[in-house]
Amino acid sequence: MSTICIQIERTATTVKPDMSRVLLRPFVHGDPERSLSIISRVMAIPEEKVRSLLEETFREFSQRHWQIRSLFLERFEQVRQFLPPDQTLSEERRQLIGAYFLAEYSLESAALFNPSIVEHPDQSGLAEGDLRFILSLRATGEGHISSITFRTGVIHGDGRIEIDEPAHFLTEPRMIQNVHYEKALFGRKAIELGMSAEVTQRILQQLGDSFTLDELCESVDRELEAARQSGGVLQSDEDGAGGLVALARSNFVMQFQPEQQLSERILFPASPRQKNGIEDARFVRFRNDDGSYIYYATFTAYDGKVIMPEVVETSDFLRFKFITLNGPAARNKGMALFPRKINGLYAMLGRQDNENIHLMYSDNVHFWYESKLLLEPLYPWELVQLGNCGSPIETDAGWLVLSHGVGPMRKYCIGAFLLDREDPGKVIGRLREPLLKPNENEREGYVPNVVYTCGAILHKGMLVMPYGLSDHATSFAIMAVDDILAAMHSDQC
């Protein structure tokens, strides 16, 4: 029995980082001159030697990557700019050149942690009382670059948690070309980001109500050329035009193939804002006004200097739409969306000031303007910092929110509080003591003394909470929701 009168079962189910799960990534050799030199040296290899080198490479790596010959050719096409345009090469030489510009990246070599869990869209073929789930995890590898990886599993009716064996191959999605942007929405985002209204209007007025990235770039080129012809390009013109293209590149769509298992699918940083990491995704199964469902995940994009909150949406975990968040309230870490609208508005929790939990509303999931202070650090285990641990969970008693608190020696613990169901701005319950704190078996890791989650799920009256172990691996805890609610209102707990 815990000190807050809640019986907590720490399960034996643990998801650990696996260094053998490797992703094939472009290997950039520095400046173009070096790339040209490498290609020149490969071009000097006799044709008969090309074949033997390629076969040796294929034997060594073909069991580690799906359709590796196609990936060699695809990478060659990305670097063929360093060759004369009329150069004719055998397919073997093209594959070999591509191989020299690829490298394996061990996705989970450092850590596999900060999980969130949602109901799987496919619940077929299960026994009565079972629930299939999708577990998202923050995978961290060389250079502390974080990406999103997935596991699937089942919560059985008896509370047993079963994780499916992950697939051997790892793949990134393909960027969808010619994605259409809505001009009104795109222009609003540009102005919110402080871009020149005049430059934005001049460039966008040449476009239709929707447009592609290629069409935007063509409009940018026309506008800059017109400026040159009329007396010169101002720095504001250059900045405005570049900002619009960067905004478009930060709002994009990625697509996996249906034959790729969910545990094969990797969301690796794909935009300049994300280049150093996609961190702490908080997935939520969101109910639309018409009763249909879509999945959102708020996450932190990190470019090596600045952190920015972003959101990704998907209906099937095959097609992912990445969206920038705008407005003065869209800042800092830990934004978590409620699983449905409240009084006709989207609702979100966040930590705008680094140490308190705030509540915000919006009529558009892309834009967040004002936030209201909801909860401040109060108890010793949370005096350094307070934040949410995933999207609120709806219960008959109210919105159950898991929180994280930071206390002495930067120890992270997980707590909980309760919000009014109709008016989430009212806090109607709060745990005085941590729900979960690192025990002796959980203290050691990439970042010691941390337990942390990005989302839990309800099943048959039980809260099933995956949680990170000191930023290294992931385990699960199970507890009765009624016990948590009772502890919030007990003078003895």
Q: Is the pLDDT of residue 209 over 70?
A: yes
Q: Do 128 and 93 have their domain in common?
A: no
Please give the average per-residue pLDDT across 473-490, as a whole number: 93
Domain stops at, among 204, 221, 250: 250
Q: Do 326 and 344 have their domain in common?
A: yes
Q: Do 95 and 118 have their domain in common?
A: no
Contact 245, 104 (CB under 8 A): no
Q: Do 290 and 385 have their domain in common?
A: yes
Tell me if 255 is assigned to some domain. no
Model pLDDT, residue 1: 36
Domain stops at, among 250, 272, 304: 250
Q: Which domain holds residue 199?
A: 181-250
The tally of CA atoms less than 13 A away on the side-chain side of residue 121 is 14
**Lowest-pLDDT choice from 29-38, 134-143, 338-347:** 29-38
Q: Where are the beta strands (DSSP E) in 376-455?
A: 385-388, 393-395, 398-406, 412-419, 427-430, 451-452
Q: Do 366 and 403 have their domain in common?
A: yes
DSSP state letter for 350:
E
Q: What is the pLDDT of residues 51-82, one digit of tens each?
A: 999 999 999 999 999 899 999 999 999 999 98
Model pLDDT, residue 491: 56
Q: Do 452 and 343 have their domain in common?
A: yes
Give the model's confidence band at 490: pLDDT under 50 very low, under 70 low, under 90 confident, else very high.
Answer: low
Model pLDDT, residue 98: 97
Model pLDDT, residue 227: 85
Q: Do 437 and 325 have their domain in common?
A: yes
Tell me if 452 is assigned to some domain. yes
Tell me if 266 is assigned to some domain. yes
Q: Is the pLDDT of residue 388 over 80?
A: yes
Q: Do 364 and 441 have their domain in common?
A: yes
The CA-based dihedral angle spanning residues 451, 452, 453, 459, taken in that order and rounded to the nearest 10 degrees: 30
Model pLDDT, residue 89: 95
pTM above 0.85, yes or no: yes
Q: Which is nearest to 283 in space by CA: 412, 475, 118?
A: 118
Q: Do 136 and 61 have their domain in common?
A: no
Please give the average per-residue pLDDT across 208-225, as a whole number: 95
Query: Based on the structure, what is the number of domains in the chain?
Result: 3
199, amino acid identity = V
Q: What is the pLDDT of residues 313-343, one digit of tens each?
A: 999 999 999 999 999 999 888 999 999 999 9
Please give the average per-residue pLDDT across 414-430, as a whole number: 97
Q: Which is nearest to 445 in space by CA: 7, 13, 2, 14?
A: 14
Output the DSSP codes for 23-68. Answer: EEEE---SSHHHHHHHHHHHHTS-HHHHHHHHHHHHHHHTTTSTTH
Tell me if 364 is assigned to some domain. yes
CATH number at residue 359: 2.115.10.20
Model pLDDT, residue 2: 42
Give the model's confidence band at 234: pLDDT under 50 very low, under 70 low, under 90 confident, else very high.
Answer: confident
Model pLDDT, residue 4: 53
Tell me if 209 is assigned to some domain. yes
Tell me if 220 is assigned to some domain. yes
Q: Do 134 and 81 have their domain in common?
A: no
Domain stops at, among 85, 106, 127: 106
Tell me if 372 is assigned to some domain. yes
Give the model's confidence band at 86: pLDDT under 50 very low, under 70 low, under 90 confident, else very high.
Answer: confident
Q: Do 207 and 272 have their domain in common?
A: no
Burial (0-12, 13-18, 19+ Cβ within 10 Å), 13: middle
Q: Do 365 and 466 have their domain in common?
A: yes
Tell me if 12 is assigned to some domain. yes
Residue 394: CB atoms within 10 A of its CB come to: 16
Q: Is the pLDDT of residue 261 over 60?
A: yes
